[in-house]
């Protein structure tokens, strides 16, 4: 068992898995897939979802060994500590309670001895009331017009999750109906081009700006907020800010200082990590403004269903636990550093970008939770695109180049079905034919013998051979309603936590992104003084000095 000062790689279970790698390498997925009992044991169903992990490079024995690893990692205890509100984010001395954000009203989840669920629901009720006022037109802008358009300003966790959910709901029939006549956009990048794209076609008179920032200090978000405040006040006068700008933050003092009435601020709490905040006002406010609170509530219920499954289901049937353990197996034992997230659904086009942050900001760590350097890699490189677009892009590398475990995500019922007369299948069936075919192509490959039988010319046989034995898993959702989107989100959030718990790291801090924030400060000061006082460049290396010189000499930025 791993004690607080030892590493998981020193446990018997870890060593046992290391020894097991050679056994697994002797098996080709082609053979593993012919063992029906094995495959049956690798199908898991919960609340309408079907997970099939039979195409993982794993046997029943591997799964037993991974469950032993979970035991040695004290996974049960760590999950309980999370749900019990203990300060498991030890470097920031915080609880990790995003599960409380979607808990039913009568649940009891405590942080520092206090049930936080009533506070959560106070904010949710406030969002419900406010979003109904905006959507019904009873809250109007400074010139008396209803606010039909929303720009949500935020970056990282204050952007990617809400964008993913918004993109997923856009074509859901119920959400689409509820969003009629309304638009929601997201402004994240400090690049002024992003500002231009966001305000293009919008009128300040009919636009509500939601400033979303946990800290209310993030440089990009605050400059974008000042830029849109200027856009509003230039058109409508300073007093219009009260009607056209609201905020989501844990720092209500800074919200007030910025000029937004704290009454129009929606709180969340330090026990919600930025990348885990989509179920707080960070996501719930903009999404409720667009789709109405009742749609968003379904999304929260879907996430909550997975929370309960995660908390109470034995590990051998627990979807996030199984997924997390398999990722640890792929990264730490089989040595695959990446993971492709491949939703066969255009509505999930922003899922991979969101999971990139959830996973890579959480698990890209070099030391254990106790600060010990890790002699093994943690985290994986996440990337992905919706199928079939990805097939025509990077799948070549996945089929014949590097081995990249793939997550295939499919949906039974399309949000927007199309059936064309004369076609042999519906458009959705065409899409899903690929979802079903690709995992087998990766697992089985194509042998030189098969190619010879097909009379492929000898010189092309090496090029057309597919080694196969490439792992994947398939997750089939019944449909892509708000509820299912919530389920999908929570599965991945918990999977990432499981990985971090097993590796023995802190998946809830993000010190690695702090350096970048500080580094820009020196350049910002230099740009200001060079432009306003012609100050010579100082304190930079040859490379940066040359680049800055070129930038200052040739750019046509307006002088301050
Ligand atoms: O990118 C680093 C980070 O701290 C993320 O963790 C966070 O989601 C993002 O910046 C935005 O922070 P805030 O919500 O405080 O503006």
Give the span between the Cα atoms of 462 and 391, in whole angstroms. 21
User: CB neighbours of 197 closer than 8 A, spacing ≥ 6?
Assistant: none
18 is catalytic: no
Centre of ligand 1 to C-alpha 155, Å, is 6
- Is there an atom of ligand 1 within 6 Å of 510 CB? yes
The pLDDT value given to residue 560: 52
Task: Give Cα separations from 431 to 383, 393, 414, 438 (angstroms).
Answer: 20, 16, 10, 11
Phi, psi of 94 (to 5 degrees): -130, 150
- Is there an atom of ligand 1 within 6 Å of 306 CB? no
The pLDDT value given to residue 559: 55
Centre of ligand 1 to C-alpha 212, Å, is 10
Q: Could you state, in chain order, the average pLDDT of each consecutive group of 10 residues for the chain (560 residues)?
A: 76 98 97 98 98 98 98 98 98 98 98 97 98 98 98 98 98 98 98 98 98 95 98 98 97 96 96 98 98 98 98 98 98 98 98 98 97 96 96 97 98 98 98 98 98 97 98 98 98 98 98 85 94 95 97 78
- Is there an atom of ligand 1 within 6 Å of 157 CB? yes
Can you state the percent helix, strand and coil of the chain, rounding each to 5? 55, 10, 35
- Is there an atom of ligand 1 within 6 Å of 409 CB? no
- Is there an atom of ligand 1 within 6 Å of 354 CB? no
Give the span between the Cα atoms of 360 and 353, in whole angstroms. 10
CB 516 within 8 A of CB 361: no
Centre of ligand 1 to C-alpha 216, Å, is 9
Residues in the chain: 560
Exactly one of 517, 525, 528, 538 is catalytic; which is it? 517
Task: Give Cα separations from 239 to 88, 139, 236 (angstroms).
Answer: 44, 15, 8
Whose CA is closest to atom 16 on ligand 1?
Answer: 213
Alpha helices in 205-270 (DSSP H): 219-236, 241-244, 252-258
Give the span between the Cα atoms of 244 and 444, in whole angstroms. 57
The pLDDT value given to residue 430: 98
Neighbours of 260 (CB within 10 A): 24
- What's 341's DSSP letter? E
- Is there an atom of ligand 1 within 6 Å of 250 CB? no
Which atom of ligand 1 is closest in space to residue 215's alpha carbon? 15
- Is there an atom of ligand 1 within 6 Å of 357 CB? no
Whose CA is closest to atom 3 on ligand 1?
Answer: 156
Centre of ligand 1 to C-alpha 338, Å, is 24
Whose CA is closest to atom 10 on ligand 1?
Answer: 156
392 is catalytic: yes
Distance of CA 81 to the CA centre of its chain: 23
The pLDDT value given to residue 73: 98
Exactly one of 18, 133, 145, 392 is catalytic; which is it? 392
CB 439 within 8 A of CB 453: no
Task: Give Cα separations from 260 to 238, 287, 412 (angstroms).
Answer: 11, 20, 45
77 is catalytic: no
Centre of ligand 1 to C-alpha 336, Å, is 29
- Is there an atom of ligand 1 within 6 Å of 214 CB? yes
- Is there an atom of ligand 1 within 6 Å of 156 CB? yes
The pLDDT value given to residue 107: 98
DSSP calls for 497-520: HHHHHHHT--TT--GGGHHHHHHH
Q: Are strands 207-212 and 183-187 parallel, antiparallel or unpaired?
A: unpaired
Whose CA is closest to atom 9 on ligand 1?
Answer: 156
Half-sphere exposure of 337 (CA within 13 A, CB side): 5
∠359-363-364 over CA atoms, to 5°? 105
Centre of ligand 1 to C-alpha 358, Å, is 12
Exactly one of 205, 220, 297, 361 is catalytic; which is it? 361
Write out 426-446 in H/E/C secondary structure: CHHHHHHHHHHHHHHHHHHCE
Query: In what helix (H) or strand (E) does residue 382 lie, and over which residues does it extend?
Result: strand 381-383
pTM of the model: 0.97
Whose CA is closest to atom 6 on ligand 1?
Answer: 274
Q: E strands of 413-488, at which residues?
A: 472-477
Q: Which of 127, 128, 73 is nearest to 498 (CA)?
A: 73
């Amino acid at each position: 068992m791993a004690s607080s000062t030892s590493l998981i790689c020193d446990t018997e279970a870890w060593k046992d898995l290391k020894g097991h790698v050679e056994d697994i390498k002797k098996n080709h997925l082609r053979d593993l897939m012919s063992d029906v009992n094995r495959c049956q044991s690798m199908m898991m169903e919960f609340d309408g979802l079907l997970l099939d992990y039979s195409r993982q490079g794993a046997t029943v024995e591997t799964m037993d060994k991974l469950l032993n690893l979970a035991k040695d990692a004290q996974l049960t205890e760590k999950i309980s500590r999370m749900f019990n509100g203990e300060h498991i984010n030890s470097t920031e001395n915080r609880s990790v309670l995003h599960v409380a954000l979607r808990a039913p009203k009568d649940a009891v989840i405590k942080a520092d001895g206090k049930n936080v669920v009533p506070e959560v629901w106070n904010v949710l009720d406030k969002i419900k009331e406010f979003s109904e006022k905006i959507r019904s037109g009873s809250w109007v802008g400074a010139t008396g017009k209803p606010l039909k358009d929303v720009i949500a300003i935020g970056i990282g966790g204050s952007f990617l999750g809400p964008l993913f959910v918004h993109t997923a709901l856009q074509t859901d029939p119920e959400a689409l109906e509820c969003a009629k006549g309304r638009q929601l956009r997201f402004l994240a990048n400090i690049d002024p081009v992003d500002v231009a794209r966001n305000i293009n076609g919008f009128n300040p008179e009919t636009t509500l700006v939601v400033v979303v920032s946990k800290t209310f200090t993030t440089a990009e978000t605050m400059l974008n907020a000042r830029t849109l405040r200027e856009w509003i006040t230039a058109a409508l006068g300073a007093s219009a800010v009260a009607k056209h700008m609201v905020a989501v933050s844990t720092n209500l003092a800074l919200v007030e200082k910025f000029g937004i009435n704290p009454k129009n601020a929606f709180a969340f709490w330090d026990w919600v990590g930025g990348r885990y905040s989509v179920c707080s006002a960070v996501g719930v406010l903009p999404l409720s403004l667009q789709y109405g609170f009742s749609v968003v509530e379904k999304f929260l219920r879907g996430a909550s269903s997975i929370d309960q499954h995660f908390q109470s289901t034995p590990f051998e049937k627990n979807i996030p636990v199984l997924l997390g353990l398999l990722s640890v197996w792929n990264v730490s034992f089989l040595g695959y550093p990446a993971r492709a997230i491949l939703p066969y659904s255009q509505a999930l086009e922003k899922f991979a970008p969101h999971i990139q942050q959830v996973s890579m900001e959480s698990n890209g760590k070099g030391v254990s939770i106790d600060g010990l350097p890790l002699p093994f890699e943690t985290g994986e490189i996440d990337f992905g695109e919706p199928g079939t677009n990805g097939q025509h892009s990077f799948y070549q590398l996945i089929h014949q180049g590097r081995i990249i475990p793939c997550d295939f995500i499919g949906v039974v019922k399309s949000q927007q079905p199309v059936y064309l007369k004369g076609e042999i299948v519906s458009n959705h069936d065409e899409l899903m034919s690929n979802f079903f075919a690709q995992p087998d192509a990766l697992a089985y490959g194509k042998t030189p013998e098969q190619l010879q039988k097909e009379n492929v010319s000898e010189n092309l046989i090496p090029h057309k051979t597919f080694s196969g034995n490439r792992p994947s898993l398939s997750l089939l959702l019944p449909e892509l309603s708000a509820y299912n989107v919530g389920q999908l989100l929570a599965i991945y959030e918990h999977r990432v936590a499981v990985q971090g718990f097993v590796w023995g790291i802190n998946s809830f801090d993000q010190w690695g992104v702090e350096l970048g924030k500080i580094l820009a400060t020196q350049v910002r000061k230099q740009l200001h003084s060079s432009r306003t006082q012609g100050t010579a460049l100082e304190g930079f290396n040859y490379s940066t000095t040359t680049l800055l010189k070129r930038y200052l000499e040739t750019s046509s930025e307006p002088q301050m």
